[in-house]
Structure 1
Amino acid sequence: MKKVIAAINMTLDGICDHTAGIPDEALHKHYEELLDQAGVILYGRTTYQLMQYWQTLLINPSDEKSMDDFAVAIDRIPKIVFSNTLKNTDWNTATLASNEIEKEVSALKQQADKDILVGSRSLIIQLLNLNLIDEFQICIHPMIEGKGLPLFDKIKNQTIFKLLKTKTFTSGAIILYYEPIKQ
């Protein structure tokens, strides 16, 4: 059984916004490698629609190789989208979830041969409340956003974590790898 990994960016003030942060070549490379090692990534509708931006770089590559390589990686990985409003995904590697999140993730964990990534704040909160996250990879950007959605909002129970390792970037961003301690 493989792990469910919540991989997400946040600012020093705890804001989780895919448009906030300081993405650089090293960070794009890190996430490209993470995607290449995983079997599937789960998104909610809002984050999924933001991630569709990367499809444009497949058609019109940028001047930054790391961004273009990330676009290829995000295009390649299968995506499952949880939405009550979308009727289709308009991305050949994306499908709409056929079950509610607890059933879908439990089934994926049983059959997965690679790790399952979760890249949406809303899904991370739901899965944390269901005790279905096996690892957090939280990239903290050295900035204060000052507004937006906090990453950890509407959490039902206190959760204690064990720090597994850290990874730092020259930009000042740091990824903290945590494992929830089952109580």
Structure 2
Amino acid sequence: MRKVIYGINLSLDGCCDHTKFGGGKDILEYFTRLMDGVDLIVYGRKTYELMVPYWPDAAKNPNSTKEEREFAQAFDSIQKLVFSRTLTIADDRNTTITHANLGDEIRKLKQQPGGNISIGGVNLPLQLIELGLVDEFHYVIHPVIVGEGRGLLEAAGLKENLSLKLIESKVLESGCIALHYVKN
């Protein structure tokens, strides 16, 4: 069975608004490695529009850093599935837009042969967490307290606690801590 993996950057106080804190080459390297074994990325419209065309353009931009190009090339090469009620056309050659039921579609995809399924953003992953469909969590905690912004799980509607097991932690050069959890 394919695994659904969720990766996101967070501040120490749980803010997931990427505009509130910076990044570094080690963070891009971490997320590039996370893409190994992934053959499908699933987003909602908002996250898709943040990622595309930014990363496909970065893959071709000679001014991009080595780390940006490597992440961008990995990202650009992977198939994407976008759940949206409003989008009808994808801006990316590897993207399919769907209006299907999120839970039903992810359950089907998990049963199909293939690599891991990566999810990103906040709203779509939150729905999948509530449905019990996320298998792994990769949180990169930035050493900053922003004091404002959207919290990752502030709108969670979990019916019971979700118990996780830490299977890896790593301190990155930037001072960020990468945490890898799986469902118990």
TM-score category (smaller protein): over 0.9
What residue number does 1:138 align with?
139
What TM-score comes out, normalization by structure 1 length? Answer: 0.92
What residue number does 2:104 align with?
103
What TM-score comes out, normalization by structure 2 length? Answer: 0.92
What residue number does 1:57 align with?
58
Moved more, 22-31 or 4-13: 22-31
Moved more, 27-36 or 55-64: 55-64
Q: Deviations over 1:36-66 (max 9, x none)?
A: 3211111111111111111221332324111
What residue number does 1:3 align with?
3
Q: Gapped runs of 5+ residues in structure 2? A: none
Letter in 1 for 2:131: L
Question: Cα distance 1:62–1:36, how it changes in 2: closer, same or farther (>3 A)?
Answer: farther
Question: Displacement, 1:98?
Answer: 4.6
Letter in 2 for 1:163: L
Contact 1:22 1:171 (8 Å CA) reproduced: no
What residue number does 1:86 align with?
87
Letter in 1 for 2:145: I
RMSD of aligned Cα (Å): 1.4
Please state whether the residue corresponding to 2:41 is helix, strand or coil.
strand
Letter in 1 for 2:88: K
* Identity fraction in percent: 39
Q: Deviations over 1:11-57 (max 9, x none)?
A: 11111123343321121112112213211111111111111111221
Q: Gapped runs of 5+ residues in structure 1? A: none
What residue number does 2:174 align with?
171
Task: Give yes or no for the alignment of 1:115 onto 2:111.
Answer: no
Letter in 2 for 1:3: K
What residue number does 1:44 align with?
44
Task: Give yes or no for the alignment of 1:19 onto 2:19.
Answer: yes
Please state whether the residue corresponding to 1:167 is helix, strand or coil.
strand
Q: Which runs of 4+ in 1 moved over 4 A?
A: none
